[in-house]
Structure 1
Amino acid sequence: MRRLLAILIPGLLLLTACGGSPAAPEPTSQTAGDTAKFDSLKLTDNGDKKAPGVDFAKPLDVTEPTIKVVTEGDGDRVKANQIANISILAVNGADGSTLEDTFSAEPEPLELNDELKTGSPVIYNAFVGTKVGSSLALAIPGQPAAQG
């Protein structure tokens, strides 16, 4: 569960769907939010077990959760009730600094079940229908600073 918490970090989160186990057919991946914010996003392949290089116009600022497939994989489509194995790169949307990188470890399982569909529909709808090997970008609005 520690890895899934990275989804709540403000900024840009890259998720790579690495594989899954069989289940029922589903539609294609659904984008959410102002996906034009990702128009400047460029990924560079850094090889196996390494996070991709990420470049984007800074600051990246969104007012709602925004998700988009950046690079489509060439595997089968991920289906509902599968377990997607994902790697995460979380970066700060203001300056691009790395907040979390799980690419050097084994991919983390993300169960695409009804609990995720209800609790995080944006994430569920983005993964279900995505091809295995795809890279997805997710931006979450930052938390306002506390006034004192």
Structure 2
Amino acid sequence: MRKVLATSLAMMLSLTACGGPTTDNLTGEATGKSAGATEILESVAVSGGSDEEPPTVEFDEPLEVTGVAARTVAEGDGDEVEAGQHVHYQLVALNAEDGDVLGDTYSQGDPKLLSVNDTLKEQDAELYEVLVGTKVGSQIAYTRPSPEPAEGETASPEQLIVLKVISAVPEPEVLSPEDVKKLDDEGQLPTFTFDDKGTPEVTIPENEASDDLVVKVLEEGKGDVVAESDSITANYSGWTYSEGEKFDSSFDRGEPATFPLSGVIKGWTKGLAGQKVGSKVLLVIPEPWAYPQPSQGQPSGTLVFYVEIVSKEAAE
């Protein structure tokens, strides 16, 4: 459940300037925002493709990548992306020299997630400006000069990346106790069984998970209340909601884990702050508050956790 700093799409594609609307390659009609040296992308056009398959991308070869550029090359017909939402996307990367496909996320399964929030605005203000107001379904072309290689290393090819905005979801909230009880009464929450060592196993219902954070206290402890600034020691197990696959468990390792509550995924911070030491808690964590940019074997999508809070230590 610990945070891991990953290279996000935003960091990979830091834009340098934000401009006004660009035009469709075929109709000449305004299609959305542009950023940077957008004249680089004037010849880029996309056709075909779907949410599961990359489009065909054509451009005048070679593409002279003289600066950073972003341009909407095909506008979708969905709702506009709003500030504070989280964008699901797929992308395909091409060699700017000859158009060869270098890789794509479509072949990796589910779309990836990018948060259009204040962090993105601070780290990549121009990308933030491009995404806010973009319609779901749009195809956005990006490029930037490749970094100079280290001594003895081979230079990376200049790339053109075409990103499709698949969907946009709002920032989650903590589901109210009344709504949690309603889901529980309807049999729409995961349940647990335990072996003779107290190790939990989960049964996940077939319904879609809540878009908001579910916190259900299975057994309330009698200890002190945990603050967000505290470090806690806890036993836990975690599973993917979609497949019920266990991906982490302190029970399996034979000892609880200790960590600052401010240094874990947001669903843990929001779900465990305010709980009492000794409590046993179910968390159903939506993707934006789990691992929105999973790496190093981290799971994607909505997650389920069983957590027993063993102790806490206040921050000094």
Q: Give the TM bin, normalised by the shorter chain.
A: 0.7 to 0.9
Residue identity over aligned pairs, in percent, reads: 39
**For 1:116, what is the secondary structure of its paired residue?**
helix
Distance 1:2 1:98, change over 3 A: farther
Residue 137 of structure 1: how far off its partner (Å): 0.3
Q: In the alignment, is the contact (CA less than 8 A) between 1:67 and 1:122 conserved in 2?
A: no
The residue number in structure 2 matching 1:41 is 44
Mark the CA change 1:47 to 1:30 in structure 2 (over 3 Å): closer, same or farther. closer
Report the 3-state secondary structure (helix = DSSP H, G, I; strand = E; otherwise coil) of the residue aligned with 1:117.
helix
Matched residue, 1:102: 105
Find out whether 1:117 has 2:121 as its counterpart. Answer: yes
Residue 59 of structure 1 pairs with residue 89 of structure 2? no
CA apart distance, 1:128: 0.9
User: Which one of the candidate residues 9, 12, 36 is aligned to 1:7?
Assistant: 12
Q: Which runs of 4+ in 1 moved over 6 A?
A: none
The structure showing larger relative contact order (alpha-carbon pairs under 8 Å, at least 6 residues apart) is 1
Shift of 1:58: 1.5
- Aligned partner of 2:79: which letter? D
CA positional deviation for 1:103: 1.9
Partner of 2:132: 128
Aligned length: 130
Check whether the contact 1:29–1:128 (CA below 8 A) recurs between aligned residues: no
Q: Name the structure 1 match of 2:18.
A: none
Unaligned runs of 5+ in 2: 1-5, 14-30, 153-316
Offset at residue 36 of structure 1 (A): 2.0
The answer to whether the 8 A contact 2:67-2:144 is kept is: yes
Q: Relative to structure 1, is the Cα distance of residues 59 and 137 closer, same or farther in structure 2, using a 3 angstrom cutoff?
A: same
Report the 3-state secondary structure (helix = DSSP H, G, I; strand = E; otherwise coil) of the residue aligned with 1:94. Answer: coil
Partner Cα distance (2:124, 2:10) in 1: 12
Q: Could you tell which deviates more after superposition, 107-116 or 35-44?
A: 35-44
The structure where strand makes up a greater share of residues is 2
> Distance between the aligned counterparts of 1:119 and 1:34, measured in 2?
19
Structure with bigger gyration radius: 2
CA separation of 1:5 and 1:98: change in aligned 2, threshold 3 A = farther
Aligned residues: CA RMSD: 2.5
Q: Which moved more, 1:51-60 or 1:95-104?
A: 95-104
Aligned-pair CA distance for 1:6: 8.7
Equivalent position to 1:86, from 86, 89, 97: 89
